[in-house]
Amino acid sequence: MMNVESNVKIMLLNVNSLKLYLPDIFLLLESIPCSIVVLNGTHHNDDAIKTFSKQYSNYNVYWGKGTNNFGGVLIAVHRSIPVQRVDVFQNLPNVIVLDIGTHSDKFQLATCYSPPNENLPISLFDAILKR
Coil, strand or helix: which one is 35?
coil
The ranges assigned to domains in the chain are 4-130
Tens of pLDDT, residue by residue over 32-50, are: 999 999 999 999 889 999 9
Kindly state the average pLDDT of the residues 91-96.
Answer: 94
pTM for the predicted model, two decimal places: 0.91
Q: Give the model's pLDDT for residue 104.
A: 85
Give the CATH superfamily of 4-130: Endonuclease/exonuclease/phosphatase (3.60.10.10)
Please give the C-alpha separations between residue 122 and each of 19, 37, 63, 71, 81, in angstroms, as whole numbers.
29, 24, 21, 18, 29
Tens of pLDDT, residue by residue over 3-25, are: 555 678 999 999 999 999 999 99
DSSP string, 40-72: E-----HHHHHHHHHHTTTEEEEEE--SSTT--
